[in-house]
């Protein structure tokens, strides 16, 4: 507390500790002790109140926007470029954004694999709004390979990362690695459109991409999944030396390659690397690390997403009609509010120029593992 009576009282209380027989100092000490207890009580009350987030008390859906409100409005709850332009002009004229729109912007969008499907990436931004400070995104790996517009995808994503470094996040997938890029097209595409030196630069940058992202200490996002052994903590993940090509086993490999399975326990992966992990493995990991659920990608899903392990393991895949063959939907996830309850949004593939998937891939490669 600045100014007022407290500093003088505090000084006198110190004098009492030195001169316990001084009546005036003793009185000031008792007064100081009373103030300290009062402050501690106020902090305790505040702490109890903070345990319940303000977000929990909001009823955004039932907030009405009055007919005479002429300001910017979200389009189906989404921030778009038009909304942002209208918002800046509205603020410039010293107007206030409607409270419903102000509350609605507090969310993050998680996208799964995009795999060089540039025109589907553009469709995501068309549907969900361009990235911005009020419309943050997390792309969960496998930006490149398979699709033949991987250069366009990765340069667009890197551009937004540079534009909004704190609100646009990229995690590494198993396809942000040299051996996969050599087989599934990205290396060939970069060399065809640019140079071998350009590919080496991409390779170096990929090695610095984070492996996981923890959201509000509740949700852990990674490309692949959980681990071949129990006991891995968030601190263990932070200590991983990620600036390298991934090894064939161990925590880094698992984060990029593993998959969930419906039965308890672990089994050999159908991919030939890492493992498959059951609901009990997920439960133990979440309990040990005080998390609610995980979000991962790495697998095509017919509906674009899948919820397994009693809601504690979510898969999201954002490349619809994967490789122009699978007929699957794409999806992205909104996480909103203090509980980060996921909201799933599906979309279908859009047309693209007549360049086939795998056009730049090693000629020996066919539709194998992702």
Q: How many residues are present in the chain?
A: 370
- Per the DSSP assignment, residues forming a β-bridge with 222 are 212
Compute the distance between CA of residue 245 and CA of residue 87 in angstroms, rounded to an integer.
Answer: 44
Could you give the maximum distance between any two Cα atoms of the chain, in Å? Answer: 94
Classify strands 137-139 and 107-111 as parallel, antiparallel or unpaired.
parallel
Compute the distance between CA of residue 213 and CA of residue 286 in angstroms, rounded to an integer.
Answer: 14
Q: What is the DSSP letter of 268?
A: E
Measured CA distances, 37 to 1, 30, 32, 65 (Å): 14, 11, 9, 46
Measured CA distances, 353 to 147, 149, 250, 357 (Å): 12, 10, 40, 11
Q: Residue for token digits 């939907």?
A: 329
Q: How far is CA 25 from the centre of its chain?
A: 56
Residues labelled catalytic? 175
Compute the distance between CA of residue 25 and CA of residue 17 in angstroms, rounded to an integer.
Answer: 8
Classify strands 137-139 and 341-347 as parallel, antiparallel or unpaired.
unpaired
Asked if residues 222 and 212 have their Cβ atoms less than 8 Å apart, the reply is yes
Q: 251: which residues sit within 8 A by CB, 6+ positions away?
A: 227, 232, 236, 237, 240
């Amino acid at each position: 507390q600045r100014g007022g009576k407290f500093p003088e009282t505090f000084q006198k209380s110190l004098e009492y500790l030195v001169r316990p027989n001084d009546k005036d100092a003793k009185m000031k000490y008792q007064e100081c002790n009373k103030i300290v207890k009062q402050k501690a009580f106020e902090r305790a009350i505040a702490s109890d109140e903070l345990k319940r987030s303000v977000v929990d008390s909001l009823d955004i859906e039932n907030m009405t926007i009055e007919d005479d409100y002429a300001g910017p409005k979200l389009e189906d709850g989404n921030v778009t470029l038009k909304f942002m332009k209208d918002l800046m002009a509205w603020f410039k004229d010293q107007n206030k954004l409607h409270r419903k729109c102000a509350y609605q912007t507090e969310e993050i969008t998680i996208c799964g694999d995009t795999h060089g499907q540039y025109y589907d990436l553009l469709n995501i931004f068309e549907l969900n709004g361009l990235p911005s400070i009020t419309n943050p995104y997390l792309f969960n790996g496998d930006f490149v390979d398979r699709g033949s517009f991987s250069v366009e995808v990765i340069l667009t994503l890197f551009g937004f990362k540079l534009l909004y470094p704190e609100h646009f996040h990229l995690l590494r997938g198993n396809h942000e690695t040299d051996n996969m890029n050599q087989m599934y097209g990205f290396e060939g595409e970069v060399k065809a459109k640019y140079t071998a030196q350009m590919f080496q630069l991409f390779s170096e940058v990929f090695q610095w991409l984070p492996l996981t992202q923890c959201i509000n200490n509740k949700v852990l996002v990674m490309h692949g999944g959980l681990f071949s052994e129990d006991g891995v903590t968030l601190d263990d993940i932070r200590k991983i030396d990620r600036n390298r090509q991934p090894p064939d086993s161990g925590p880094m490999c698992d984060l990029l390659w593993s998959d969930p399975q419906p039965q308890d326990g672990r089994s050999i992966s159908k991919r030939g690397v890492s493992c498959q992990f059951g609901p009990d493995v997920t439960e133990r990991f979440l309990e040990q690390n005080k998390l609610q659920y995980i979000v991962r990608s790495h697998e095509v899903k017919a509906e674009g997403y899948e919820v397994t392990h009693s809601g504690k393991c979510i898969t999201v895949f954002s490349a619809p009609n994967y490789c122009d063959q699978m007929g699957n939907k794409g999806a992205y996830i909104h996480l909103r509010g203090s509980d980060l309850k996921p909201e799933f949004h599906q979309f279908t593939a859009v047309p693209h120029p007549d360049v086939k998937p795998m056009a730049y891939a090693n000629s020996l490669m066919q539709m194998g593992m992702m």
